[in-house]
Amino acid sequence: MEIGAQSFVDDILQSAQRGHRADSIAQSILILKKLGFRTGLHLMVGLPLETKEQFLYSIDQTVKIRPDAVRIHPVIVFNDTALAVEFREGRYIPLELSEAVELCCLAWEKLSLAGIRIIRMGVHITPEMEKSGMVLAGPIHPAFGSLVLDSVFYDYTRRLLQ
């Protein structure tokens, strides 16, 4: 059973109009585990108002509740959404691709060390998303997860060679 948590920071959840609080995420995972379900958690990186520290806090909270799997999606700005309005008015600036990759590298390290499987990094690009003008901004890349893993393994290799 997968839960679209997105963040463990209540202010960010409220701003994104998610309709739940951080404590309900942990309670839901605990209940599902007690009932024998395998659990998954969806997190987002680059949410409006989110800092690097808040994203890493969400990763730390994820480690504490130990879902079986995690998906990490960077925030993409789609046309005809409330976020598109914020973006056009300069009230939301999405992460650059390199920033999203860097944050996901940090998340990968923490989650992997905790034995939590990451089953996706990035978004699945659909034909609808490929239509002209559908995606306005954000760290979208067809091989986002590969960029993250390449960066992780490059850093590990560089450290080993030093």
- Is 0.75 surpassed by the pTM of this model? yes
Q: Which pLDDT band holds residue 19 (cuts at 50, 70, 90)?
A: confident
Interatomic CA distance for residues 14 and 26, integer angstroms: 17
- Joined together, the tokens standing for residue 12 give 């960010």
126-146: pLDDT as tens digits: 999 999 999 999 999 999 999
Nearest Cα to Cα of residue 67 among 8, 124, 122: 8
21: pLDDT confidence band, cut at 50, 70 and 90?
Answer: confident
10 Å Cβ neighbour count for 18? 19
Nearest to residue 103, comparing CAs of 53, 66, 63, 150? 53
Instruction: Write out pLDDT tens, residues 59-103.
Output: 999 999 999 999 999 999 999 999 999 999 999 999 999 999 999
